[in-house]
Amino acid sequence: MRAVRQSGHMADPRRAAAALLLCVRVCAGAGSDAAPDDSVFGAMEDELHRSLEGLSMVDLDPPYFLSYEVREHATTVADARYDAMVRSTSRTTRTLGIDLRVGDPSLDNTNFYADWSDAWGRPADLVEEDDYWALRHEIWYRTDKAYKAAVERLAKKKAYLQSHPSDEALVDLSPVEPCVHIEDRQSSAVDQGVIHALLNTAVEACHEVPALQDWDVGFLGDTETRWFVSSEGSRVRTVGHGYALTVSGTTQAHDGQRLCAQRRYMVPTLNAMPTKEDLAHDVRRFFEELSAMAGADLLDEYAGPVLFTEYAAAQFMAGLFAEQLTLPRTPLVATEWMREYFQPGKLAGRVNRRVLPRFVTILDDPGRTTWRGMPLMGSRFVDDQGVRCRPFALVMHGRLVTLPITRSPSRKVSEPNGRAIKVQAEAAVPGISNLIVRADNRLSRERLIKELRRLCVEYELEFGLLVSQLEDPSVGARYRWTEARNGDDASLLPPPLMVYKVFADDGRMEPVRGLVFEDVTIRSLRDIVACGKDERAYNMFVNAGFTDMSYPASIITPSVLVEEMELKSSPIREPLPKVRNPLFASPR
Amino acid sequence: MLLDAMEAELARAMETMGSSTDVPLYYMQYTVTDESRFELSAADGGFNAPESSRLRYLDVDIRVGSMSLDNTHEIRGGGSSDNYPPRRVVQFPIQDEPGSARATLWAETEYQYHKAVDRYSKVVTNRQIKVEEADKSADFSPMPPHQYAEVVVPTRRDTSLIRPIMRRAAKYFTEHSFVLNSGVSFTILDKTTYLVSSEGHRLQFGNRYLRMDLTVVGMANDGMELSRHEGFSAAVPEHLPDETTVMKTAERLVKELRLLIDAPEVEPYLGPAILRSRASGVFFHEIFGHRVEGHRQKRTDEGQTFTKKIGESILPPFISVYDDPTVFRHGKHDLRGYYAFDDEGTPAQRVTIVERGVLKGFLMSRSPIDGFPLSNGHGRRQYGYDVVSRQGNLIVESSETVPWEELRRRLIAECERQGKPYGLVFEDIGGGFTTTARRGPQAFKVLPLLVTRVYTDGRPDEIVRGVDIVGTPLTSFNKIICTGDDYDVFNGTCGAESGMVPASCISPSILVSEIEVEKRQKAQEKPPILPPPRCDAGGAAVGTHG
């Protein structure tokens, strides 16, 4: 039949990604035995042993390392738009990831991409019934393909290295202790009544904000069961849960500027969701603030101190710090066009250098499960390569001392530290868990604002800026009619959304709008001149690097005051509605 | 409730936008597609979890300007995005809640209106700077309003009967070592369309699409991936195959796969061939049907193979071709191409395309072409796309038919006449593609799944593999010599500019004096190194690996 043109889609791409990686894998209590009746383990292990013994071709090496990872996701999705449900589904999916290596740990088929499929190959679907023979059959078929691809890629890699000699003496696979950890399988059932109550509460709260033109509420519940076995003897079964309630909305200023905002509640247990009263209050307050922003004055440009508070502080640390730790080891890439996709994060090469002021220390603690009673989404017990996660300091007194790392060592960090994440791709990338930003000299909110005003006086400015939320790029793409993006795609920070002028003379605050950051670099981290006493934890999605996917993590940070940043105006405007929204067409 | 809300919001939008001082809106249509899906599948002997969903999608069609020139007019010389907008999928409330339904309609109307106004200005400019158009027909045709309400009864999701049948077939496949992958699936799609327009259409109609598919995949020693597939379509569960039929089909597919794996690869060939009825149906759908879709006669980037051939002989005089979406069933087969109304609210109609070899008409949506000012109920789309004219049930009829044995005898006779040692019989075709646009070669490629070589010297027939049918349309249809009396149905899903739509073709087998086949691209991988685990463990698997 005739070829079909590829489709555009209004669906939120990040939500799709989230569906496959939302769960928190904390140690939920080891099972009482080694899961002898688990047919998934049985199929994985039996096929692993058979493959290691039998897979070889004439003049070609057999595998020296093989691991299988099976992920089962039982997801419940419910979406509402305006005041009605648009989707309510539950489904189960299973995927098989294979890490098959030929050669030896010093030089194998990994860390080299000859073409697109090497880098972006997705885990294969796996039959979902616990049928030992069906599982083995599918694992067998895909292992055969993985082996042939591995030997071919190793040959290409060797040829590439002959024509592109490198003095980088890094091994491809670091040794680790095998990890044996079995958790009990758990039910994935989600109370539909609870889901619908959350959705109803959120949509009713949105409905009470007349300036909102459009709003969506989405619920995603996910139970992940993960099996991992390796030829080194690792044997892991973990069970994790994750729940996200996402409330998005849009309004327009009188000049056509569209303001889009999103509030996301991510928790590892359903009962950690906000109460009905808290949710209604928070959603209403959030969109009323957005409405106020739509009525604010435009600001054409700004250069001066910026105070990031609340969620904006976490977004600041995510964009300029957490997401800049990626790809500490750039893989070898055979084709020039692919090289741009494998750029290391801006901080990846700065180990042992000062990247923040001396009064800031940053920890990454996967073992912490709560922060002042709030459950954290970054908690992990074992990473996606079967390595136990352990806490460490990333930054000590302003100096970057290490990086999250997988089993692929980098020049600066060689020992795996349990931070490998596989996000819808075969290759593991390093990521953070629970990032905790600590400052020695912490100021109260009043002192922070006073400091902001002092800087304004010093720079001879009438006012400084306070930013409490940045725009979520995915929500902008959802509501904007124009294909043009608000702000620079390459910017390390998305445009500010909730922005206030703080006047130097009397400290009064006025909302402003229409700004995007200009030329943001990691230099802004060093330009932090003060931090607040108001550490707050935020569960959020963090970009994983080249896979263009995100993973759940937690960032605990105080407000941060940056000495100087530059912002410019955003030119994007859209026509105002010709007809009034029927929900608000008549007096209520 | 839903139709009332759609009408109310449409009236409100027309009142404001229809009197706009910028560019007046002259036509609006709201379409809500309600799809309830269920899928149960097994892969390599194990089941996947059943999946079910219910979703609604909204399409808002807005026309500004006038019927003679509106925003849908072709932008000549424009890029692909100028004339083929990307798909836009808009989810619609599944709860019958009028406020949210109307708000969703309002938001999408605002978006589509501004897009329409923007495009209309480009259309006007484009017309001013380009040469005069050859086809000066209008952009939209009038249509009297229709009111119709049909409730699609939801298909029962009880799988207690079909699940054991699927299990048995799935397990049977795994008993054969040369079957590398196998699948059995059962799907239900209950679809209801709600449509209102500013002309007064108020329609609710739909269909039920049930399907069972069996697939086996293997590999020849030279690395060629081979597959056999059979699909059963029905509109009600009672019309699905029983266990005996399913198992006989499974056995046939496995047998054919084994024969294909051992079969020789065919060299490029030009000579006589028979396309068995279902294969012939696909052949006509791809090569002929797409070229008689109305919009292809008007668009300047189309090849317009048949545009100027009305009244001319384009097929042998014993062949007539119709498209009749009003036919619900043919023989034992429910037809997927059935529908009561098209996606512009026009009642489905039987259209005579070719009568005794002479071209009589085209498949028309509400986009007129020279000499065909009105729709004949073939404007179709998948939600999210713009409507274009499409096929429904394409029916090839022959006034000169012979029994299969006689057709086969005539194939051999034709081979002997041409001095060919053998002819080919295409038993099954998986699909194909054809380029109708001017920018590429206006040729076709059809992908046979099962091909048999019939020798003139009396040797037994031999299954062969690794060929695709290629050609150009005008030449190909002149080569039809004779047809069989074995009408059969191909039920499938057709993809084109307006997305995937269910379609059927009914055709007898056809004997052609000359068909060209070329070698198929194939993978270069060796078969798996290790035997399937069931065989290696001394399990029940039978047969010899690859």
Residues 6+ apart with CB under 8 A from B143: B199, B344, B345, B346, B366, B374, B375
| Contact assessment for residue A216 and residue A81, using Cβ atoms and an 8 Å cutoff | yes
pLDDT of A3 above 70: no
**Angle value at C-alpha B292, between B398 and B373, nearest 5 degrees:** 115
- The whole-number average pLDDT for the span A249-259 is 95
pLDDT given for residue A527 in this prediction = 97
Are B454 and B461 contacting, i.e. CB atoms less than 8 angstroms apart? yes
> Where is B169: in which H helix or E strand?
helix B162-174
Rg (CA), chain A: 25
Comparing CA positions, the residue from A175, A172, A49, A174 lying closest to residue A103 is: A172
Please say whether the beta carbons of A271 and A194 come within 8 A. no
Specify the amino acid at residue B419. Answer: G
Give pLDDT tens digits for B33-66: 999 999 999 999 999 999 999 999 999 999 999 9
The closest CB to that of B13, out of A87, A213, A579, belongs to: A579
∠ CA A42-A48-A50, nearest 5°, is 100
CA angle A102, A104, A109 (to 5 degrees): 45
Query: Which DSSP string corresponds to A302-332?
Result: EEEEEEE-HHHHHHHHHHHTGGGS--SSPPE
Measured CA to CA, the distance from residue A470 to residue A495 in angstroms comes to 6
| pLDDT tens string B230-272 | 999 999 999 999 999 999 999 999 999 999 999 998 888 899 9
Enter the tokens of residue A141.
């078929």
> Residue B534 and residue A583: Cβ atoms within 8 Å?
no
- Structural tokens at position A365: 């603690």
Max Cα-Cα span within chain B: 81
**What is the pLDDT, as a whole number, of residue B541?**
44
Quick: pLDDT tens for B173-207: 999 999 999 999 999 999 999 999 999 999 999 99
pLDDT bracket for residue A293 (50, 70, 90):
very high
The domains of chain B are located at: 2-262, 269-519
pLDDT on residue B522: 74
Query: For the stretch B53-84, what's the b/e string if a residue is b when 16 or more beta carbons lie within 10 angstroms of its beta carbon?
Result: bbbbbbbbbbbbbeeeebbbbbbbeeeeeebe
Work out the angle between the directed axes of helices A132-163 and B162-174 (0-180°, nearest 10). 50
- Please give the residue of chain B at the shortest CA–CA distance from A51: B530
Interface of A with B in 197-216 (CB under 8 A): 213-214
Examine the pLDDT at A27 and tell me if it is beyond 70. Answer: no
Q: CA of A168, closest CA in chain B: separation in Å?
A: 34
A180-219 pLDDT, tens digit each:
999 998 887 888 899 999 999 999 999 999 999 999 999 9
* Residue B110 at interface with chain A, using a CB cutoff of 8 Å: yes
Question: Which residues does A383 contact at the CB level (< 8 Å), separation at least 6?
Answer: A389, A406, A418, A419, A420, A421, A428
Is residue B346 a contact partner of residue B371, using CB atoms and an 8 Å limit? no
Band of residue A30 on the pLDDT scale cut at 50, 70, 90: low
Residue for token pair 């790392």: A405
Would you say B335 and B376 are in contact if contact means Cβ atoms under 8 Å apart?
Answer: no
Token reading at A536: 């707050």
Where do runs of H (alpha helix) occur along B284-348? Answer: none
Q: What is the mean pLDDT of residues A533-544?
A: 94
B100 touches A: beta carbon within 8 Å = yes
Which residues lie closer than 8 Å to B405 by C-beta, 6 or more apart? none
Largest Cα span, chain A = 81
- pLDDT tier, A18 (very low <50, low <70, confident <90, very high otherwise): very low
> What pLDDT, on a 0 to 100 scale, did the predictor assign at position B467?
86
Nearest partner of B213 among B191, B232, B241, B200, judged by Cα? B232
Is the pLDDT at A516 greater than 60, yes or no?
yes
Assess whether pLDDT exceeds 90 at residue A2: no
Q: What is the mean pLDDT of chain A?
A: 89
**Does position B392 have pLDDT exceeding 60, yes or no?**
yes
Mean pLDDT of B68-75: 93
Q: What is the predicted pLDDT for the residue at B173?
A: 97
At A165, list the tokens. Answer: 């000699």
- Chain A positions touching B108 (Cβ under 8 A) are none
* Angstrom distance (rounded) from CA B165 to CA B214: 12
DSSP per-residue codes, B502-514: EEEEEE--EEEEE
A141 close to B (CB below 8 A): yes
Considering only CB atoms, B16 lies closest to which of A83, A131, A579, namely: A579
DSSP state of B334: E
Q: What is the pLDDT of residue A474?
A: 84
Q: What is the pLDDT of residues A360-391, one digit of tens each?
A: 999 999 999 999 999 999 999 999 999 999 99
What is the residue-averaged pLDDT of chain B? 92
Flag if A11 and B87 touch (Cβ within 8 Å): no
Contact A420, A499 (CB under 8 A): no
Q: Which is more confident, A147 or A15?
A: A147
pLDDT at A531 over 90: yes
Do the Cβ atoms of B48 and A83 come within 8 Å? no
Q: Do B46 and A51 touch (CB under 8 A)?
A: no
- Chain A residues in contact with B432 (beta carbon < 8 A): 1
* Whether B94 contacts B33, CB under 8 Å: no
CB burial readout A149-182, b (16+ within 10 A) else e: bbbebbebbeeeeeeeeeeeeebbbbebeebebb
Nearest to A51 by CA among A72, A65, A36, A31: A65
Q: Taking CB atoms and an 8 Å limit, are A583 and B103 in contact across chains?
A: yes
Counts of helices then strands in chain B (DSSP H, E): 9, 26
Distance CA A321, CA A317 (A): 5
Q: Does A58 touch chain B (CB under 8 A)?
A: no
- For B306-335, the pLDDT digits (tens) are 888 899 999 999 999 999 999 999 999 999
Q: What pLDDT score was predicted for residue A8? A: 27
pLDDT score for A188: 78
What span, in angstroms and rounded, lies between the C-alpha atoms of A399 and B105? Answer: 55
Q: Does B89 touch chain A (CB under 8 A)?
A: yes
DSSP string, A52-120: HHH--BTTBPPEEEEEEEEEEEEEEEEEEETTEEEEEEEEEEEEEEEEEEEEETTEES-SEESSHHHHH
Show residues of chain A in contact with B82, CB under 8 Å: none
* Residue A470: C-alpha distances to residues A114, A284, A466, B176 (Å): 38, 18, 11, 58
Residues whose CB falls within 8 Å of the CB of residue B167, separated by 6 or more in sequence, listed in order: B42, B47
Domain B2-262 has CATH 3.30.2290.10: yes
CB neighbour list of residue B225: distance below 8 Å, 6 or more residues apart? B217, B218, B219, B522, B523
Average pLDDT over residues A57-82: 93
Q: Look at residue B14 in the predicted model and tell me its pLDDT.
A: 93
Which residues on neighbouring strands pair with residue B502, listed in sequence order?
A: B493
Q: Would you say B494 and A1 are in contact if contact means Cβ atoms under 8 Å apart?
A: yes
The per-residue pLDDT for range B530-543, each reduced to its tens digit, is: 999 998 865 444 33
pLDDT one-digit tens code per residue, A79-89:
999 999 999 99
Quick check: A588 contacting B, CB < 8 Å? no
Q: In which element (H, E) is residue B148 found?
A: strand B147-149
- pLDDT, mean of residues B130-156: 91
Cα B530 to Cα A140: distance, rounded to the nearest angstrom? 8
> Encoding tokens for residue B261?
């794996």
Over range A477-495, report the average pLDDT: 77
In this predicted structure, the answer to whether residue B475 has a pLDDT above a threshold of 90 is no
pTM of the model: 0.91
Residue B544's pLDDT band (cuts 50, 70, 90): very low
Q: What pLDDT score does B31 carry?
A: 98
* Tens digits of residue pLDDT in B337-362: 999 999 999 999 999 999 999 999 99
3-state secondary structure of A124: strand
Which DSSP string do the residues of B36-83 spell out, in sequence order? EEEEEEEETTEEPPPEEEEEEEEEEEEEEB-SSSBTTS--TT--HHHH
The answer for residues whose C-beta is within 8 angstroms of residue A366's C-beta and 6 or more apart is A378, A379, A380, A381, A389, A390, A391, A418, A433, A434
Q: ∠B331-B334-B336 over CA atoms, to 5°?
A: 135
Q: Give percent of chain A with pLDDT exceeding 70.
A: 91
Q: Indicate left, alpha or beta for B278 from its phi (over 0: left) and psi (-120 to 50: alpha).
A: alpha
- Tell me whether strands A124-125 and B462-464 are parallel, antiparallel or unpaired: unpaired
From residue B216, how far is each of B43, B178, B525 by CA, in Å?
10, 10, 18
Interface touch B174/A134, C-beta < 8 Å: yes
Q: Among residues of chain A, what percentage have pLDDT more than 90?
A: 74
The pLDDT of residue B445 is above 90: no
Tens of pLDDT, residues A387-421? 999 999 999 999 999 999 999 999 889 899 999 99
- State residue A587's pLDDT score: 43
In 3-state terms, what secondary structure has residue B86? coil
For tokens 């049909």, what's the residue?
Answer: B150
**Contact present, A484 and A473 (Cβ < 8 Å):** no
Across the interface, of B93, B103, B492, the residue whose CB is closest to A85 is B93
**CA nearest to A575 within chain B:** B114
